Amino acid sequence: MTNSFTSAASAHPSGRTLHVALWIVQVILAVMFGLAGGMKAAMPLDALAQSLPWVADVPGALVRFIGFSEAAGALGLLVPSLARVRPWLTPLAGLGLSIVMILATAFHLQRGEVSNSALTASLAGLAAFVAWGRLRWAPIEPRAPHSRSQGLPTHP
């Protein structure tokens, strides 16, 4: 038997494992991108450049755009799926974040920052896993619309 958060694919034990793994990855990525995005969106650029040297080499507006994009992606990884309202936005958030991280990987490789590129490539892979998993193997079902047949009060 499946609950409202599972789909037909997760009724099978291996599907259930994938469903749980996706939730774990979604939460981890949301925390990481939420914190990183919040820093890039809100911290003074001079202070941010002390911990992220690349910030001094790109326009401030780009740093802020990246920050807001990462923060929005973090919300997109969780909110639509938790609320079960337009849950198809979660795989789009995963896809968007994977694209941002692929671009970040190329940027860091160009700068010779191999350790940074390894981290961003890993994050790209995890975000792509969420996009694929929530689109194909363990999608979140949208909340069922309320109907009069469920005993809900009617208004004239």
Report DSSP letters for 20-53, one per residue.
HHHHHHHHHHHHHHHHHHHHHHHS-HHHHHHH-G
Domain residues of the chain, as ranges?
10-139
Task: For residues 102-108, give the mean pLDDT.
Answer: 97
Q: What is the mean pLDDT of residues 64-73?
A: 98
Q: What is the pLDDT of residue 2?
A: 45
Q: How confident is the model at residue 1 (pLDDT cuts 50, 70, 90)?
A: very low
Q: Residue 8 pLDDT > 90, yes or no? A: no
